[in-house]
Amino acid sequence: MSSQAVGNQTSSQATDDYSYGNWYIDEPQGGQELQPEGEVPSCHPSVLSGLLHACLAVLSILVLLMLAVLVRRRQLWPRCGHGRPGLPRTWMVPAAVFTVLFSSLCLLFPAEDPLPFLTLASPTSRDGESEAPRGPWKILALLYYPALYYPLAACATVRHGAAHLLGSTLSWAHFGVQVWQRVECPQAPKIYKHYPLLASLPLLLGLGFLSIWYPVQLVRSFSHRTGAGSEGLQSSYSEEYLRTLLCRKKLESSSHTSKHGFLSRVWICYGNYIYTPQRGFRLPLKLVLSATLTGTAIYQVALLLLVGVVPTIQKVRAGITTDASYLLAGFGIVLSEDRQEVVGLVKHQLWALEVCYISALVLSCSLTFLMLIRSLVTHRVNLQALYRGAALDLGPLPRSPHPSRQAIFCWMSFSAYQTAFTCLGLLVQQIIFFLGIMVLAFLVFMPVLHGRNLLLLRSLESSWPFWLTLVLAVVLQNMAAHWIFLETRHGHPELTNRRALSAVTFFLFPINVLVGAVVAAWRVLLSALYNAVHLGQMDFSLLPPRAANLDPGYHTYCSFLKIEASQLHPATTAFCDLLLRTQRPQPLQGPQDGLRHGEEEEGHFPAKPPAPTLCPQPLPAGRSQCLQFHR
């Protein structure tokens, strides 16, 4: 009995040892799963992201309600508080808020939960992913994030200490939540493990600036209790523009003697293509926002193109083994008889592919940034011309100075269009430059350096009679046109040998057809390259002048200039501000020393302060252009 039991136990143990489940000795015990190498595990923060966003949404609503109460109270009691509602006194606050908004929208691309607080109500699967469809919620997120960040800009429009306090609280709350999330979950499994952290850098910079700017303004509001300073800041640019326009002096210096020199020409060329600040002129807020969003879009698109492709190429290159030789042999490609040499060649080719991709990305970003700087110069020139009353060639737009429905819509969508054009233009440039650099690298440079795979050179070798014929035809026709069919008479070239010209044209017609086919292909390539480089620019049309109105980007730009020149003219703003100052009641002052109360009744009043002038210093004789408004 005992021996039989021992035998049964031994046989059962042997069966367990050779069972299917014990073949894989590296399998983790207890039902645990191994994490694939290089894959980032899902993050589980201590505080749910949905709860934090719900708190931020409630806080934003409370801030908006408090701002509405504050503005309403100041409308009923104008003396309650200081300053007045209006636009922010600096362009940096709207630029920071738009940067934060656009960066948040860029983070929606890889996000599984477009509205984070939906995770509090939606069921999740065992993998931690929500089972509800996320397509409609991403559309709703396009409206949620502007509403979430709008109070950050609204607090800057109400020039009051309480508004600055609310802005400080809200900006610090947003900044703290973003920093908390990035510290707890610095990596993500989508696209690239560090992509969310890198993509949120502009967002953190914008929120960090707002969290510093609002407390500084709060301190200033306690130190400056009068509202005159803010009003002066609002109209300072308009007065500076008008002062520069009316009191401009002609500089007489030795530079006139060398204005045609080499350095002066270089400086003029530099000023025509690179934007430099100009005294007495500032770009409108809308153009500043567009430039800021364009820079942010260049960073976000370049980051996405970089982290979406380069890490994948590096992983593939690191995983190349001798099996690659069999794979290539299956397609009829035999690089070498030695397998290790084949591995080295494939890795070298992948490294060259990575270099081509990064080079194309650097070239695309550089050209897009240079086109942005060039566009700022064009914006300034066009606005200055419109301010002077010049009629620019803006297509078939109506010449009426009154705004239209379509012009207002174009003004509203200008910055958004500029951002979208920049993103698409950078993507198209990356594709074109990558293909071009890759063709040059793999068909020209690398075959010449290594002496193998000379496909392009062999094709040229086999077809050299064709290309030689085309080149000779073009050269001979130009030489004949210069030496045979042109004759100089009385100092002017004249056409001669007309019969020979007609005969040569007839005989060379078939060859010129082939030359025309090559020129047509070259024309298509140049047109595609030119339009791809300038796709992000809206200050000129990519279509010919007769069809410029069909270009939606150029049409939007022209309508935007019309609104800017007719509604936000700095000279008009300066005149209106000076007129409002003359109508503002002056505070009553007590009698000065030596002036009795009876003299006031007799009509002896203190001297009036001087009228505001736009010229800080006297002008030369014959240039009395200073403008004064007398009370």
- Closest-CA residue to 210 (of 148, 144, 161, 149): 149
Both 166 and 277 in one domain: the answer is no
If asked whether residues 209 and 312 sit together in one domain, one would say no
The string of pLDDT tens digits covering residues 362-421 is 999 999 999 888 888 888 888 888 887 766 665 554 456 677 888 889 889 999 999 999
194-206 residue pLDDT tens: 888 888 899 999 9
Those residues with Cβ within 8 angstroms of residue 230's Cβ, 6 or more apart along the chain or in another chain:
82, 83, 84, 89, 159
Q: For residue 405, is it within any domain? A: yes
Same domain, 321 and 408: yes
202 with 282, same domain?
no
Supply 120's token pair: 């509090």
Interatomic CA distance for residues 230 and 82, integer angstroms? 9
Instruction: Provide the angle, in degrees to the nearest 10, between the axes of the packed helices 285-318 and 92-106.
Output: 30
> Is 184 in the same domain as 93?
yes
What are 28-37's pLDDT values in tens digits?
444 444 445 5
Q: Would 461 be classed as within a structural domain?
A: yes
Within a domain: 451: yes
Domain that holds residue 98: 45-120+136-224
Angstrom CA distances, 113 to 116, 120, 138, 207, stand at 5, 11, 8, 22
Distance (Å, rounded) from C-alpha 569 to C-alpha 573?
A: 6
* Structural domain count, the chain: 2
> Is 207 found in the same domain as 86?
yes
Does residue 358 lie within any of the structural domains? Answer: yes
Domain final position from 559, 582, 605: 582
- 13 domain residue, yes or no: no
Residues 389 and 9: their CA atoms lie apart, in Å, by 105
SS3 494: strand
Do 544 and 479 fall into the same domain? yes
Whether the CB-CB separation of 187 and 44 falls below 8 Å is answered with: no
Shared domain check, 214 and 298: no
Residues 440 and 307 reside in one and the same domain: yes
Question: Would you say 40 and 188 are in contact if contact means Cβ atoms under 8 Å apart?
Answer: yes
**Which residues, in sequence order, are CB contacts of 336 under 8 Å at separation 6+?**
342, 345
pTM exceeding 0.85: no
Fill in the DSSP letter of residue 548: G
Do 188 and 63 fall into the same domain?
yes
Residues 289 and 365 both lie in one domain = yes
- Residue 42 is predicted with a pLDDT of 67
User: Residues 6 or more apart from 563 whose CB is under 8 A from it?
Assistant: 403, 407, 408, 410, 411
Q: Taking a C-beta distance cutoff of 8 angstroms, is the pair 91, 285 a contact?
A: yes
Same domain, yes or no: 285 and 196: no
In a domain, 216, yes or no: yes
Give the DSSP H or E segment for 489. Answer: strand 486-489
Write the burial class of residue 383 (CB in 10 Å: 0-12 exposed, 13-18 middle, 19+ buried): buried
Which of 345-354, 412-421, 432-441 has the weakest average pLDDT? 345-354
Domain-embedded: residue 332: yes
Residue 469 lies in a domain: yes
Compute the chain's Rg from CA coordinates: 36
